[in-house]
């Protein structure tokens, strides 16, 4: 199991795809692992050298004492890139992964080629909501929040037609260590990048979900509107649009990363 150590934190990662292809870093959402990108991997591995990793507090990565910050999550990505001798890479993150991507686009611009920010927001409040969730997980464990989270992540229609896929995601969520989850909740709670995102200069794609309750489409549109030249695409999905509309998500991402996607689209 490949890992690196960054400031005493073990970071688990996987590298797949063509050795001579452009690098693409994929960053997971809160409460999942690098396996959340499985729907995209067959296509992405044919075109890119793909680096997936478990965000600190998730999966097989270490769970240092929290709270964490988005800056720490961003520096973890830089540490992974440095360890693997990746000078520049495309970056795609969903939800919390997208927040990490914003930080990288703002603070580590020379390392980012193209940036995909998916089902994410520059601010998710209010803080009381996160504090309530943290307290609930601290006292009752992850099982106490899993059903409600799944209902925010997937539309009822998708839950009915794809129960096995929903079960895979539910298991990722349930297996996340409570302390790692709450430490990352704090990072999301404390983040406000609404003003700074205007500094992002990398070509940027913003993907939103029409039915997303966690990071509503209007939040994605705000991010896209503040980044010069950003492309905005809205999919008929809830929060995990890369599962609910896997084919459209993958095609949109590939077109953007290969320089084909332009303008604003809905799908």
pLDDT for the residue numbered 134: 98
Q: What is the CATH number of the domain that holds 220?
A: 3.40.50.1820
pLDDT of residue 260: 74
Side-chain half-sphere CA neighbours of 62 within 13 A: 15
Conformation bin of residue 225: beta by default, left when phi > 0, alpha when psi is -120 to 50: alpha
Tokens 């959402």: give the residue.
29
What total of structural domains would you count in the chain? 1
Helix (H) or strand (E) holding 112: strand 112-118
Q: Order of strands across the sheet with 9-17? A: 3-6, 9-17, 49-53, 23-27, 89-94, 112-118, 204-209, 231-235, 265-266
Its domain, for residue 192, covers: 3-266
pLDDT of residue 45: 98
Q: How far is CA 50 from CA 17, 44, 81, 82, 173, in A?
A: 6, 7, 12, 15, 23
102 touches 112 (CB < 8 A): no
The per-residue pLDDT string of the chain (267 residues; one tens digit each, 9 = 90 and over) reads 999 999 999 999 999 999 999 999 999 999 999 999 999 999 999 999 999 999 999 999 999 999 999 999 999 999 999 999 999 999 999 999 999 999 999 999 999 999 999 999 999 989 999 999 999 999 999 999 999 999 999 999 999 999 999 999 999 999 999 999 999 999 999 999 999 999 999 999 999 999 999 999 999 999 999 999 999 999 999 999 999 999 999 999 999 999 875 544 444
Q: In this structure, are residues 244 and 158 in contact, taking their beta carbons and an 8 Å threshold?
A: yes
pTM above 0.75, yes or no: yes
Alpha helices in the chain (DSSP H): 41-47, 70-83, 96-107, 127-140, 146-153, 156-161, 163-175, 178-190, 217-226, 241-244, 246-257
């Amino acid at each position: 199991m490949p890992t690196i150590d960054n400031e005493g934190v073990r970071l688990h990662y996987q590298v797949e795809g063509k050795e001579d292809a452009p690098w693409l870093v994929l960053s997971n959402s809160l409460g999942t692992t690098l396996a959340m990108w499985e729907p995209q991997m067959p296509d992405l591995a044919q075109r890119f050298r793909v680096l997936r990793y478990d965000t600190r507090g998730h999966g097989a990565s270490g769970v240092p004492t929290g709270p964490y910050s988005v800056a720490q999550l961003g520096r973890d990505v830089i540490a992974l890139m440095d360890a693997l001798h990746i000078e520049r890479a495309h970056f795609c993150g969903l939800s919390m992964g997208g927040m990490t991507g914003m930080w990288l686009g703002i603070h580590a611009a020379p390392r980012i080629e193209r940036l995909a920010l998916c089902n994410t927001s520059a601010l998710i409040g209010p803080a009381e909501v996160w504090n309530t969730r943290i307290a609930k997980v601290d006292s009752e464990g992850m099982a106490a929040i899993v059903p409600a989270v799944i209902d925010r992540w997937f539309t009822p229609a998708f839950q009915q037609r794809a129960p096995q896929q929903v079960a895979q995601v539910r298991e990722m969520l349930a297996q996340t260590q409570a302390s790692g989850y709450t430490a990352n909740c704090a990072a999301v709670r404390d983040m406000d990048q609404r003003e700074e995102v205007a500094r992002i200069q990398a070509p940027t794609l913003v993907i939103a979900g029409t039915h997303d309750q966690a990071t509503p489409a209007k939040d994605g549109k705000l991010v896209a509107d503040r980044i010069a030249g950003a492309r905005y695409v809205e999919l008929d999905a809830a929060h995990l649009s890369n599962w609910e509309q896997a084919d459209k998500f993958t095609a949109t991402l590939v077109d953007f990363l290969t320089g084909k996607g332009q303008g604003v689209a809905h799908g």
